[in-house]
Structure 1
Amino acid sequence: MSVKSRRSLLFASGALLAVAAVAVPVVVGTAAADPGAAGSGNQARIVGGNQASLADHPYAVYLTDAGGNQFCGAVIVSSTSVATAAHCAKAVAKQDIRVVAGREDKRTSEGQVLGVSKVWVGQGYTDPTQGADVAVLTVRGQFDYRPAKLPDSGDAGLYAKGTQATVLGWGRIADGGARSDYLRSGEVPVVSDSECHSAYTVYDQKTMVCAGYAEGGVDACQGDSGGPLVVGDTLIGIVSFGDGCAKAGKPGVYTRVSTYAKDIEAQAKPRLLG
């Protein structure tokens, strides 16, 4: 079994950029690692999903390198910050990360492109399979778009087995699939902790949550890492890793946002303008 993050590999000026956690040993297929990413023209979108609208999900954004190559997703959590996966934040130097907001179709110039001034990574993060796969990026400027809500102590029921959630991203539609120009979404049910542990021995119910169908068919994929898993407008997960994409018996694994909500909120407080 080869578990991988679901981030894209980046190609710049014809040279492959080495990206941390692209092929994480023992990790199932993280939504970030995308061997045919941006410059290669082989990146795609949510597997088994549909085209989505930023009118419904204005907090969905994506990350590019300085050359404009999309490698991960992210989610607006305040007027000045986005949450993403730690392995995405560590994939590209801070000065080269760009956050693209309000751009449903990547072929357009709509929305905003903001640089990053600060990167916070979950304490103790080493790789997606060990948990703490969460990061907050503070941008230079402010977003014009509504943030997602963070879960609170009264939202424990959102993690109950069978809860229907929505995963969003611009990643592959299948392993090796073609690149998507549009935001995509997929509806997936939350999976019980016991079922997820049966699928992944590395599963940690404190830091992770799984979502997907027993028969597979709908899932995040390469290029989607760092993107949101939401119930309504509440962020319950961040795309982290998986075994391939949409395989039967192999649900997607997400960072459990409720565990890190206070940290995210603290890091995401808008800067005071003086």
Structure 2
Amino acid sequence: MSVKSRRSLLLVSGALLAVAAVAVPVVVNTASADPASANQPRIVGGNKASLDDHPYAVYLADTGGNQYCGAVIVSSTAVATAAHCAKAVAKQDVRVVAGREDKRTNDGQVLSVSKIWISKGYNDPTQGNDIAVLTVRGQLDYRPAKLPDSGDPSVYREGTQATVLGWGRVADGGDRSDYLRSAQVPVIGDKDCNSDYDVYDPKTMVCAGYADGGVDACQGDSGGPLVVGDTLIGLVSFGDGCGKAGKPGVYTRVSAYVDDIQQQANPRLLG
């Protein structure tokens, strides 16, 4: 079994840089799609999504505008993402792109980053603690996601339907989406996930997907949000391929890091 944070290659500042990234494989309903989206690659599992419904979904780009990871707004000054995304590009070259549903447009905001916090326990996605908080220069003009209540495990109950969001590849090794897309995936119980991945840690990870595969995150959207309603329960972390049967997506369990996120996202409120 090959377990890895789904990586892609970007040409940054003249050097070939390995960048961790995961995307959401989805399907476009061509009967109702507009002409531009009708030409997008299709894979069963989701649909084009709207920032009207998910204004907290953002992506990370380099100074050349190349999208390499997803992220999620957690306050007016901060976004959460995967630690391996935060380490993939130098801080001065990271840009947070918010309010841009179609990457080909100039909509929304592009903000640089003043500070990066990475969980002290992070070494590799498969070892857990795959979470980072990026403080932006300026203010994000979009509504943040809600953080889970650590005392309420209901959002992690097996079978709970969650939504994963991203702009990445629509198939393993395939083209990246120009649009924000979403896919519905059920939360998988810890016992089942541990049987799928022997590196699974129920304290810091959560799995979501279908036993038969077909719906998953993929290259281009690591760090992107997994939400139940508007509550952030996970960040895309790693997996074995994209949409393989018996190989669900593995996400950072956000409830384990609520205090850390709040401290980084709202430092003044917490002293």
Length-normalised TM-score, structure 2:
0.89
2:130 alignment counterpart? 133
Separation of aligned partners in 1, 2:146 and 2:42? 24
Amino acid at match of 1:6: R
* Structure 1 residue 153, shift from structure 2 partner: 2.9
Cα 1:46–1:135 change in 2 (3 A) is: farther
2:68 alignment counterpart? 71
1:209 alignment counterpart? 206
Instruction: Describe the superposition over 1:231-272 as per-residue Cα deviations: whole angstroms up to 9, x where unpaired.
Output: 000000000000000110000000000000110011001669
Amino acid at match of 2:22: A
Which of 139, 146, 149 aligns to 1:142? It is 139
* Structure 1 residue 13, shift from structure 2 partner: 5.6
Structure 1 residue 153 corresponds to structure 2 residue 150: yes
| Superposition map of 1:59-138 within 5 A | 59-138=56-135
Cα 1:114–1:7 change in 2 (3 A) is: farther
1:177 alignment counterpart? 174
Matched-pair contact (CA < 8 Å) for 2:8–2:18: no
Separation of aligned partners in 2, 1:45 and 1:168? 16
- Unaligned stretches of 5+ residues in structure 1: 23-29, 33-42
Separation of aligned partners in 2, 1:69 and 1:102? 16
**CA RMSD in angstroms, aligned pairs only:** 1.9
Instruction: Describe the superposition over 1:171-206 as per-residue Cα deviations: whole angstroms up to 9, x where unpaired.
Output: 111112112100000000000000000000000000
- Unaligned stretches of 5+ residues in structure 2: 24-39
* Structure 1 residue 47, shift from structure 2 partner: 6.6
Which of 49, 53, 59 aligns to 1:52? It is 49
Cα 1:131–1:61 change in 2 (3 A) is: same
1:10 alignment counterpart? 10
2:223 alignment counterpart? 226
Separation of aligned partners in 2, 1:46 and 1:131? 29
Cα 1:46–1:68 change in 2 (3 A) is: farther
Length-normalised TM-score, structure 1:
0.88
Cα 1:10–1:140 change in 2 (3 A) is: same
Separation of aligned partners in 2, 1:213 and 1:66? 37
Separation of aligned partners in 1, 2:44 and 2:114? 33
4+ aligned runs moved over 6 Å, structure 1 = 43-47
Cα 1:249–1:73 change in 2 (3 A) is: same
Separation of aligned partners in 2, 1:111 and 1:224? 19
Structure 1 residue 260 corresponds to structure 2 residue 244: no
Matched-pair contact (CA < 8 Å) for 1:47–1:217: yes
Matched-pair contact (CA < 8 Å) for 2:222–2:237: yes
Amino acid at match of 2:77: T
Separation of aligned partners in 2, 1:156 and 1:237? 13
* Structure 1 residue 154, shift from structure 2 partner: 4.0
Separation of aligned partners in 2, 1:81 and 1:230? 18
Separation of aligned partners in 1, 2:119 and 2:220? 21
Separation of aligned partners in 2, 1:225 and 1:132? 14
Cα 1:65–1:220 change in 2 (3 A) is: same
Separation of aligned partners in 2, 1:209 and 1:17? 28
